[in-house]
């Protein structure tokens, strides 16, 4: 094969065909569309005619190929199947083979070939076959392939019998009892299906067109009907055996040549009963009152938006049926009037019931009750509502929307309750002494509907009276606040195993488990972390403080070791006459959770980290002045983010046992640090996160908070 040395060629797979070059994979520049392999095909062997077995006459089956004749092929290559098709060009008198895959040069053991006369289709998956389609097949064809072409040795023989009927021209007849292939599945290479009956008309030459049926293995009984007469016979003659051909005379009342004759009428069916009418479905039921003295080949229902539907409209088949038959349809359109009739097919035709009308239900938006307001706090409100009607639709989502402005919608803030029809939610993170507007909402396929608007006003912020401590030395004067933490019992730690149990947090680490009950006495804790100004006034010097990591009187102090903090606490206690110390780990977490006023937030003061914490999502890798973010439930600030804070406990594992005023492990690798820092991710600023540092450690992300007894 010639190749342009200036072009890089690639092997591509697809469906676009170009001028034939050879039998290798088509090679095209990368810019060209993908395409299928193709090569020349030399067909060795011809189509075999049907053998005329009924009456003496000459077969007229032509051995000449028509233009665009298609033979479907399936090659066995290394125990794998490669499918393809061959198309005949009558002008060039040559076949072109297309196949999707790789076929090596040489001789293969098997190739399957099938030819559907007058039935070519570009459908890549399945081909419909009519009763007038002649089918030829060779399951043991062989082939030889070289660099120029492929030689296919195939003997295409009929797979069915062939028959036509002789009688008066324009005579309309119906045949049943015969089997016909309905489709050829290209992907599986199999012929499939059968029909229960076929209608034929005698043409001007006195014959019906040929049909290509076969007998089932269980019966050779043919039923031929016209007008109100049914003729039946057991066909012992080999006609309709594979590859056989011939014709039969249409029996008449006067001369029925051994056919059994029965007078029949169309089936009689009761009116349809329509029940379980929904938005897109309904159930039909009918009874076969009389089979018309014939065999019922099929029954079912046909329906349409027009009156008197027939089987040419939408139909749902029950099969051969019995006296009573029922089917449910599920493809209907909402709020639409339909017409339905039952049908039954016997030997001479289709009988219909009377026309019945019904209308599918309409989908409307859901209906929602008014909102019931429960507890109102300074930062949250409890709401309830219900959905008494889904509007015949499917609930997609429901919940509450709220805003500082009237008429909130889904474009405002929302709290989803999922697909529950009983709505109950606690909206948290609200501002104290603020009026809110709230509605319940529900969404189905038709849209979203809202309840009547309700307003509420959050209460005043809980006032936690600070105890202000003033320190004055030769280095200056500074005042700082200590917040009262009333004693109580709380669940310490977090877990990510049981959604329904306490302190669930999907981000919980192993060292935050197990959760356990802790009871604490009352104490005071710093409103903020120890500031750089307070440290300087007490110590007379700054630790290693830099503007790079935040410098200012109100910024938290950092780069302080545990030992330096002990010295600071000792001097402060002496200067003020108060007893200060590090918080225990339990005291730190209880205060961070809001003490006995806790709302169960993930971060100290909120379920949203940004409102309460300086972390890596809102800092420039440095500290910020304290008390600039929102305080928690007892007005303590920065317990999430800014800097980590020393605790007095040695680091150790939690116990499941309940504890009273615990002080931690007897020893450990370092002292506990809590709270997260300015360069940490949000998950590290959660209330339950714990870590440790050696007593000699100092970091730009580590400071302290005081406890006063």
Do the two domains 268-359 and 466-708 of this chain adopt the same fold? no
Choice among 188-197, 219-228, 585-594, 647-656 with the minimum mean pLDDT:
188-197
Residue 102 pLDDT: 81
Q: Which helix (H) or strand (E) holds 362?
A: none
- Phi, psi angle pair for 227, to nearest 5°: 50, -125
**Highest mean pLDDT (candidates 127-141, 238-252, 368-382, 683-697):** 683-697
Q: Which of 173-187, 291-305, 553-567 is predicted with the least confidence, judged by mean pLDDT?
A: 173-187
Exposure string of 687-708, with b = 16+ CB inside 10 Å and e = fewer, is bbbbbbbeeebbbbbbbbbbbb
Mean pLDDT computed over 483-500: 94
Token code pair at residue 701? 């992300």
Predicted local distance difference test score (pLDDT) of residue 24: 27
Domain coordinates of the chain in residue numbers? 9-158, 268-359, 372-457, 466-708
The reported pLDDT for the residue numbered 320 is 80
Confidence of residue 210 (pLDDT cuts 50, 70, 90): very high
Going from the C-alpha of 256 to that of each of 118, 202, 229, 262, 644, the distances in angstroms are 34, 17, 11, 11, 105
Using the predicted structure, report yes or no on whether residue 11 has a pLDDT greater than 70: no
pLDDT of 314 higher than 90 = yes
Question: What pLDDT sits at residue 349?
Answer: 85
CATH class for the region spanning 268-359: mainly beta
In degrees, rounded to 5, the angle at the alpha carbon of residue 414 between the alpha carbons of residues 413 and 416 is: 165
Q: How many CB atoms lie within 10 A of CB 75?
A: 25
Q: Is the pLDDT of residue 8 over 50?
A: no
Number of C-alpha atoms within 13 angstroms, CB side, residue 468? 3
Between 654 and 88, name the one with better pLDDT.
Answer: 654
Q: What is d(CA 73, CA 581) in angstroms, rounded to the nearest whole number?
A: 89
Q: Quick one: tokens of 485?
A: 């933490």
Q: How confident is the model at residue 695 (pLDDT cuts 50, 70, 90)?
A: very high
Residues 335, 358 contacting (CB under 8 angstroms): no
Q: Is the pLDDT of residue 563 over 90?
A: yes
Q: Which of 545, 529, 563 is nearest to 704 (CA)?
A: 529
| Residue 92: pLDDT over 60 | yes
Average pLDDT, the chain: 87
- Name residues whose C-beta falls within 8 Å of residue 174's C-beta, 6 or more positions apart in sequence: 197, 198, 199, 200, 224, 225, 226, 347, 348, 349
In terms of Cα–Cα distance, which of 371, 374, 501, 379 is closest to 423?
A: 371
Which has the closest alpha carbon to 104: 44, 152, 144?
Answer: 144
Instruction: Look at residue 346 in the predicted model and tell me its pLDDT.
Output: 87
pLDDT the model gives residue 612? 95
Average pLDDT of span 89-95: 85
Q: What is the pLDDT of residue 61?
A: 44
Q: Flag whether pLDDT at 362 surpasses 70.
A: yes
Q: What is the Cα–Cα distance from 310 to 184, expressed in whole angstroms? A: 28
Tell me the average pLDDT across 124-152.
84
Cis geometry, peptide bond prior to residue 514 (ω within 30 degrees of 0): yes
**527 closest CA partner among 626, 625, 595:** 626
Rg (CA), the chain: 44
Ranges assigned E (strand) in 291-359: 298-304, 314-319, 324-329, 337-346, 349-352, 356-359
Q: What are the pLDDT digits (tens) for 213-241?
A: 988 877 888 989 998 888 989 888 888 88
**Most confident listed range (4-18, 30-44, 617-631):** 617-631
State yes or no: cis peptide before 376, omega within 30 of 0: no
CATH architecture designation of domain 466-708: Alpha-Beta Complex (3.90)
Cβ neighbours of residue 500 closer than 8 Å, sequence gap 6 or more = none
Q: What is the mean pLDDT of residues 502-511?
A: 95
Q: Which pLDDT value is given to residue 470? A: 95
By CB atoms closer than 10 A (0-12, 13-18, 19+), residue 369 is middle
List b or e across 658-686, with b for residues whose CB sees 16 or more CB atoms inside 10 angstroms: eeeebebbeeeeebbbbbbbbbbebbbbb
User: How far is the CA of 609 from the CAs of 130, 403, 681, 689, in angstroms?
Assistant: 70, 21, 10, 14
pLDDT per position as a tens digit, 630-666: 899 899 999 999 999 999 999 999 999 999 999 999 9
pTM of the predicted structure, to 2 decimals: 0.48
Specify the pLDDT at position 124. 60
pLDDT score of 23 more than 90: no
What's the CA gap between 488 and 518, in Å, rounded?
8
What CATH architecture is 9-158?
Answer: Sandwich (2.60)
Q: How confident is the model at residue 57 (pLDDT cuts 50, 70, 90)?
A: very low
Q: How does residue 20 score in pLDDT terms, banded at 50, 70 and 90?
A: very low
Q: Is the pLDDT of residue 26 over 80?
A: no
The tokens 């930062």 sit on which residue?
379
Whose structure tokens read 């169960």? 600
Which CATH architecture group holds 372-457? Answer: Sandwich (2.60)
């Amino acid at each position: 094969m010639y190749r342009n040395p200036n072009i890089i060629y690639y092997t591509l797979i697809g469906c676009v065909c170009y001028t034939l070059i050879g039998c290798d994979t088509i090679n095209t520049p990368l810019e060209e569309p993908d395409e299928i392999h193709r090569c020349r095909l030399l067909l060795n062997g011809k189509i075999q005619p049907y053998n005329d077995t009924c009456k003496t006459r000459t077969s007229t089956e032509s051995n000449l190929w028509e233009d665009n004749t298609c033979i479907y092929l399936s090659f066995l290559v290394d125990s794998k199947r490669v499918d393809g098709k061959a198309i005949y060009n009558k002008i060039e008198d040559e076949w072109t083979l297309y196949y999707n895959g790789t076929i090596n040069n040489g001789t293969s053991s098997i190739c399957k070939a099938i030819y559907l006369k007058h039935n070519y289709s570009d459908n890549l998956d399945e081909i419909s076959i009519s009763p007038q389609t002649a089918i030829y097949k060779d399951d043991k064809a062989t082939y030889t392939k070289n660099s120029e072409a492929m030689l296919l040795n195939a003997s295409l023989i009929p797979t069915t019998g062939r028959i036509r009927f002789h009688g008066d021209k324009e005579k309309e007849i119906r045949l049943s009892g015969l089997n016909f292939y309905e489709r050829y599945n290209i992907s599986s290479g199999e012929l499939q299906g059968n029909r229960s009956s076929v209608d034929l008309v005698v043409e001007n030459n006195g014959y019906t067109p040929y049909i290509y049926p076969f007998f089932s293995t269980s019966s050779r009984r043919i039923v031929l009907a016209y007008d109100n007469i049914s003729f039946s016979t057991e066909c012992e003659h080999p006609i309709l055996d594979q590859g056989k051909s011939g014709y039969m005379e249409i029996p008449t009342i006067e001369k029925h040549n051994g056919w059994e004759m029965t007078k029949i009428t169309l089936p009689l069916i009761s009116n349809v009963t329509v029940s379980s009418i929904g938005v897109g479905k309904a159930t039909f039921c009918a009874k076969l009152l009389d089979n018309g003295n014939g065999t019922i080949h099929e029954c079912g229902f046909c329906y349409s938006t027009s009156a008197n539907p027939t089987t040419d409209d939408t139909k749902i088949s029950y099969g051969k049926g019995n006296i009573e038959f029922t089917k449910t349809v599920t493809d209907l359109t909402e709020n639409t009037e339909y017409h339905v009739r039952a049908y039954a097919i016997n030997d001479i035709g289709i009988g219909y019931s009377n026309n019945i009308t019904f209308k599918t239900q309409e989908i409307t938006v859901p209906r929602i009750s008014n909102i019931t307001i429960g507890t109102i706090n300074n930062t949250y409100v409890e709401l309830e509502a219900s959905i008494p009607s889904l509007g015949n639709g499917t609930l997609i989502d429901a919940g509450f929307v709220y805003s500082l402005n009237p008429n909130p919608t889904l474009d405002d803030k929302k709290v989803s309750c999922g697909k529950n029809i009983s709505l109950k939610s606690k909206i948290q993170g609200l501002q104290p002494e603020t009026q809110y507007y709230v509605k319940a909402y529900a969404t189905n396929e038709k849209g979203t509907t809202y309840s009547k608007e309700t307003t509420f006003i959050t209460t005043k912020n809980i006032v936690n009276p600070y105890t202000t401590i003033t320190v004055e030395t030769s280095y200056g004067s500074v005042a700082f606040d200590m917040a009262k933490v009333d004693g109580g019992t709380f669940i310490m730690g977090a877990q990510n195993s049981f959604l329904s149990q306490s302190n669930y947090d999907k981000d919980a680490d192993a060292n935050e488990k197990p959760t356990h009950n802790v009871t604490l006495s009352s104490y005071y804790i710093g409103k903020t972390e120890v500031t750089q100004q307070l440290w300087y006034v007490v110590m007379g010097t700054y630790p290693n403080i830099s503007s790079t990591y935040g410098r200012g009187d109100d910024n938290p102090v950092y780069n302080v070791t545990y030992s330096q903090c002990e010295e600071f606490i000792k001097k402060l206690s002496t200067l003020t006459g108060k007893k200060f110390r590090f918080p225990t780990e339990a005291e730190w977490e209880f205060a961070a959770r809001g003490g006995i006023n806790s709302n169960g937030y993930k971060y100290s003061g909120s379920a949203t980290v940004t409102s309460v914490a300086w972390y890596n999502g809102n800092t420039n890798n440095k500290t910020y002045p304290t008390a600039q973010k929102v305080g928690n439930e007892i007005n303590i600030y920065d317990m999430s983010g800014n800097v980590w804070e020393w605790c007095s406990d040695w680091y150790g594992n939690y116990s499941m046992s309940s504890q009273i005023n615990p002080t931690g492990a007897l020893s450990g690798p370092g002292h506990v640090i809590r709270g997260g820092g300015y360069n940490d991710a949000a998950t590290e600023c959660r209330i339950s996160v714990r870590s440790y540092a050696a007593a000699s450690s100092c970091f730009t992300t580590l400071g302290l908070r005081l406890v006063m007894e």
